[in-house]
Structure 1
Amino acid sequence: MEQEQLKKVAVSDIFINTNFIIPIYQRNYSWKEKEIEQLIEDIDSSIQSPNSSYFLGNLIVNQKESRLYEVVDGQQRLTTLFILQRYLSTIFARDALCFEAREKSNRTLSALDDTGKLDIIDEFFSSEILDGLKIISNYFGKKQLDRNNFKSKLKNVFLIQVQVPQNIDLNHYFEIMNTRGEQLELHEIAKAKILEMLDSTEQRKVGAIIWDNCSNMDSYVQMNFKKEYREKIFTGDWSSLDKKVTSFESIVNLLKIQDNSKEEKSILEILGQEKIVQDKKPSGETEPNEDERFESILSFPNFLLQINSSKNDNLYEMEGNLDDKKFMLNLEWTWKSSINAKSFLFLLLKSRVLFDKYIVKREFARDYKDTGKWSLQRLEKYTDTTKGKSNDKPNYVATFSDRINKQLRTLQSCLRITYTSPKTMHWITLAIQNLLKDENANLTTILENYCSEKIKNSGFENESGFAIERIVFTYLDYLLYRDGNTKYDIKKLSEDWQFQFRNSIEHFYPQNPSELEKWEKPHLDCFGNLALITTSDNSKFSNVTPLAKVDTYKSIIDQSLKLMIMAKMVKDNHSWTKEMVELHKDEMFEILAGN
């Protein structure tokens, strides 16, 4: 049996006369909306002509038989491509991809016929794979992608199939492939290039401290610094940068780090040494479980792109500013000179403090430890004297007064669940940009104006069905939350309601009812008959009658204030009619038009 070490394979042909098996030591399929939509978007945007080509990356395999390969690395992408091609009605063997020891997954993959649909759904099917199919279907619907056109693009999309050496210990190889720090990521290369531009070893050490402590996005940046540094850089209550911190050079002077090294080492060598130390021991003095309490809405590389974009007043929404595929190109200016490097490092720290203080996070604590909730809090120091000695600890308090905090927290979470791809989160750039100019900037007004402009440009009054942009649904829910609605018993600024990660358009009167007459498109796809819910709940809701939905699925109804109004209308009238759909649409459009 001949083994090809490297092979270029078109995605359109990957499953033709070839079988892949995913071994037991690999985890189950776990890609969600973010990863799946990003894959589809990358393919769609990269293939603009018959002469275009796009490489998705590597697929590491171990050849078992002539046309049978064991997947060592790349199974999440490969499984998504399998589901995607089934959705596009590509014809290939049902067992072209299977899991070694996951019967539910195999049953579900096998049940996907050449039309991309499932005849039966039961408890013996994989919910993860079903969700993947639903996400793909919804994305094609909301973006109005032509399936045949997209299918033809896959002929110009390629994977590099890499064969591992013979007689290798695959379990050990897989562990190495997934070990943190196997190779430098782009943001680590950017760090090296920036530090190389600084004027002395002392400056490079301070630059590395700033970079490393800002890179841990899941705890407040103050707590990432050693206590001795924290006391010098931040105010007495730790809430802000000290007034003495006005530039990178001022931080170097405040920290006064001694240079005891006898020889200069390359920055890449320093990076390698630091990475090993960090893996063994955190660089900061975080409180117990603090890294587990908060979850940032941005990764560090995406945050770097955000603050880089914020420096351009009128170009914050310029195409490509937040595109991680252009990461090095976007940041290239930072390592062109020592002045640029110092300027960016100071901007990084200042922006990170503002980001933690004024941009929402997910918080996991107390009765919401498992599910999490939206959080808008600032960090302040408090002194614990309960054990007979003073001990300074972090305390988290609402950033603003109660009403303003609730409103801004909900407004930001509205934007977060609407623009799920990091490359579309321009609202964060806009917020940071204004805070850098004036920390007292009215973020609520700024972001409401941003949303209003998006609503206006969407042309929602003339759209229907999947063509209605998600911001129309989410911003409407925000307005109902902000102002309340006495007619339909919607409480103003209710503490009990928060946005969930909703991305699936639900037809309240079902598209294919089993017990009722089928409605024509104008009423079926009317805004008054639509709501936004989570993808997993859409499958439960699917063909159920409006009355049954209201009686049975309160937890789903409560996801959307718009949907709660629709449910109350059903309860009051004991029905859901075309006239009610039109009434609801008019009432909701009036709310949107007034904002």
Structure 2
Amino acid sequence: MDKNLKVIPVSSIFANCSYRVPIYQRNYAWGEMQIEQLIEDILGSINDPSKNYFLGNLIVNQTDINVYEVIDGQQRLTTLFLLENYLGIKFSQEALKFEARDKSNRTLTMLNKGDHDGLMEELSASEILNGYQVIDNYFKTKKIDKSELIKKLEKVFLVRVQVPQDIDLNHYFEIMNTRGEQLELHEIAKAKFLEVLDTKHDKKTAALIWDKCADMDSYIQMNFDPTVRNALFTNDWTSLKDNNNDFDSIKMYIQTAEDDNTAVPLIDILKEGKLRHTAGSKDELETERFESTISFPNFLLQVNAVIAKLAEEDATLDDKHFLNNLSWAWADAEKAKNFLYHMLKCRVLFDKNILKREYAKNYKEEGRWSLLRLEKYNDQRGAKPKYVGTFGDDDSQSNKQIRTLQSCLRITYTSPKTMHWISVVLTKLLADESCNMIKILEDYCITKIKKSEFEDSSGFGFERIVFTYLDYLLYKDGYSYLNKELIQPMRDDWHFQFRSSIEHFYPQHPVESEPWESDDLHGFGNLALITVSGNSKFSNVSPEGKISTFRKVIDQSLKLKIMSELVNLDDKKWTKQKASEHKEEMFKILKASING
């Protein structure tokens, strides 16, 4: 083996060595989706104990004996540090350090010492604390055996790659972050599709469709040159023209656009690659306004699942075998054309009917849920895009309800491989764009609720959909108790946040009172779903203290808001009886929805 390559078990990656993350690297930024995916990869990778599993490369520059500067892979490495720390694997206090980031280093040191109580929020790195809390919540929710995972880590490996000693590290890092080390899998897939198409014009049409669909963070119409846009889409730009019902008809419309008397023929523009990442003038694009729910590779798997559903078959959304999942589609030219047509059609439907995050005006920093369709309007300078509510006005009851219902699913199924609701919706829309979106989504949620067997669950065994769909029902219908309205229906000041942490309202380890028995403590009436950061704030504070100190956390969950209102009744305390009655009330709401 090359002396610059070393294969290391993940269980020993921090043994007898130190890693330094240089200042030019960004902060730790992995969230719930990436962290859970890493754990699931480890858990699911070793079905055959005789085989090893590789998590990827860790690229380093050795600066001293057993001291390595991390060039690439720090997000994965930091997550492994948090995971192994959580599992109780011991290593040096110097195992991982961030250059010139005192909060990050202080947080890592305290976690390594096991001194969680000493982690004052204002003196700690919130992103690292959140990462640790995600791991803690995942293990509790999934009931994972720590000792079993520790054994698996001995069969999971990283390849530590030492860069040449004389390399310009700044230049190397810049290349790594702009070009990447190798072709992405979706780029390989694109080449496979183009390879089986017969004519040059087929290939160019396919490349055009592919490249425009690949930009997921703007509406597909605006990714096309104006000439092509007008050829492909209806006069108001909202849909593909009726005659664009297969790959060859789309190719014909693009050919017509080429033959127009434009300043530069479309084919020449394609040859020069000018359409790959641009779409007309800068002022007609809002490149940073919208953020897609899924990435382009995950969108390709959604299209694959839609085509499978149309054939009454199943297809996975798991990207572990990405190329194999799609390989049927480049078996011959006709299958490739069929897939490419559905890609474009699904992308139009996706942009119009699946929510995004929108960063504009008062929401430019934190973003908000957005369910808008693109339409054309004309001003003195010509045709421009405008964004209006997909199901009526943006603030209409239908649009608000569908947006909230989709955001319920979005924050529940955070991993792209679990977002089956998207392919369900797209399949229905392909058959009938006027389908009942609310019924489709509610039926999907109810199916999940039934499968969860929530009435027999306890504590961390409750699935997230039980909490999130209940909050949706409370949002939709409101809630009153003893003739007092506690939750107003369709309130404008509430929306779903990325909540994944099950919180005990009466704490598991109360400081100044007696602990509850298990059935009361872990019953649904004493639980709510909140954000990871909210969970770290709540800790072992009493219900009364939580209400007075953490109002913003309380307001994350409509169920939790009801619980806080119940505290203010009678003796101003949260009791076992109140928790039990609240459980029955909430179960009654869920069962009423299930029974229609």
Task: Compute the TM-score of the two structures, normalised by the length of structure 2.
Answer: 0.93
- CA 1:201–1:300: 2 relative to 1, 3 Å: same
Q: Which residue number corresponds to residue 398 of structure 1?
A: 389
- 1:205-225 CA distances to partner (integer Å, 9 max, x unpaired)? 111111111111111111111
**Superposed counterparts of 1:311-326, under 5 Å:** 311-313=307-309, 318=314, 321-326=316-321
Q: Which runs of 5+ in 2 are unaligned?
A: 260-268
Question: Bigger shift: 473-482 or 187-196?
Answer: 187-196
Contact preservation (8 Å) 1:357, 1:376: yes
Counterpart Cα distance in 2 of 1:581 and 1:481: 21
CA RMSD in angstroms comes to 2.1
2: distance between equivalents of 1:321 and 1:591? 33
Identify the residue that residue 291 of structure 1 maps to in structure 2: 287
Runs of 4+ residues deviating >3 angstroms: 180-183, 270-274, 283-289, 314-318
Q: Which residue of 2 aligns with 1:525?
A: 522
Which residue matches 2:263?
none
Counterpart of 2:366 in 1: which secondary structure? coil
Which residue of structure 2 lines up, in the alignment, with residue 327 of structure 1? 322
- In structure 1, C-alpha distance between the alignment counterparts of 2:469 and 2:405, rounded to whole Å: 8
My pick for the range that moved more, 138-147 or 49-58, is: 49-58
Q: Is 2:423 the partner of 1:429?
A: yes
Structure 2 CA distance for partners of 1:181 and 1:4, relative to 1, 3 Å: closer
Residue 315 to residue 486, structure 1, CA distance change in 2 (3 Å): farther
Contact kept in structure 2, 1:46 and 1:52, CA below 8 Å: no
Matches within 5 A, 1:296-307: 296-307=292-303
CA positional deviation for 1:489: 2.4
Structure 1 residues 330-349: aligned runs within 5 Å: 330-349=325-344
In structure 1, distance between residues paired with 2:525 and 2:439 = 28
CA contact (8 A) 1:570 1:576 kept: yes
Instruction: Give the corresponding residue for 1:534.
Output: 531
SS at match of 2:487: coil
Q: Per-residue deviation at 1:119?
A: 3.9
Q: Distance in 1 between matches of 2:469 and 2:577?
A: 24
C-alpha change, 1:561 and 1:286, in structure 2 (3 Å) is: farther
Task: Identify which of 573, 576, 585 aligns with 2:574.
Answer: 576
Residue 510 of structure 2: aligned partner: 513
The counterpart of 1:440, out of the listed 415, 434, 437, is 434
Separation (CA, whole Å) in 1 of partners of 2:311 and 2:110:
48
- Any gaps of 5 or more consecutive residues in structure 1? 260-269
For residue 88 of structure 1, report the CA deviation from its aligned partner: 0.4
Answer yes or no: is the 8 Å Cα contact 2:351–2:373 preserved in 1.
yes
Amino acid paired to 2:589: I
Q: Identity rate of aligned residues, in percent?
A: 57
Relative to structure 1, the CA distance from residue 278 to residue 154 in structure 2 (aligned partners, 3 Å threshold; closer, same or farther) is farther
Partner of 1:350: 345
1:142 aligns with 2:141: yes
Moved more, 418-427 or 193-202: 193-202
Mapped partners of 2:78, 2:115: distance in 1: 16
CA contact 1:223–1:286 (8 Å) conserved in 2: no
Q: What does residue 359 of structure 2 align with?
A: 364
One-letter identity of the residue aligned with 1:333: W
Q: For the residues of structure 2 that align with 1:424 and 1:39, how far apart are their CA atoms? A: 15
Match of 1:40 in 2: 39
| Counterparts of 1:246 and 1:173, CA distance in 2 | 46
1:146-203 Cα deviation digits (max 9, x unpaired): 1111111100000011111112111111111111365321111111111222221122
CA contact (8 A) 2:284 2:384 kept: no
Aligned-pair CA distance for 1:4: 2.7
The match for 2:304 among 293, 303, 308 is 308
State how far apart, in whole Å, the 2-side matches of 1:304 and 1:548 are: 48
Distance change (3 Å), C-alpha of 1:289 and 1:205 = closer
In structure 2, what is the equivalent of residue 589 of structure 1?
587
**Alignment-derived partner of residue 166 in structure 2:** 167
> Contact between 2:224 and 2:279, CA under 8 Å: does it hold in 1?
yes
CA distance in 2, matches of 1:131, 1:25: 22
2:559 to 562, 572, 580: 562
**Aligned counterparts of 2:580 and 2:533: Cα–Cα separation in 1:** 28
Per the alignment, in what secondary structure is the counterpart of residue 118 of structure 2?
coil
Contact 1:213–1:284 at 8 Å: present in 2 too?
Answer: no
Compute the displacement of 1:36 (Å).
Answer: 0.7
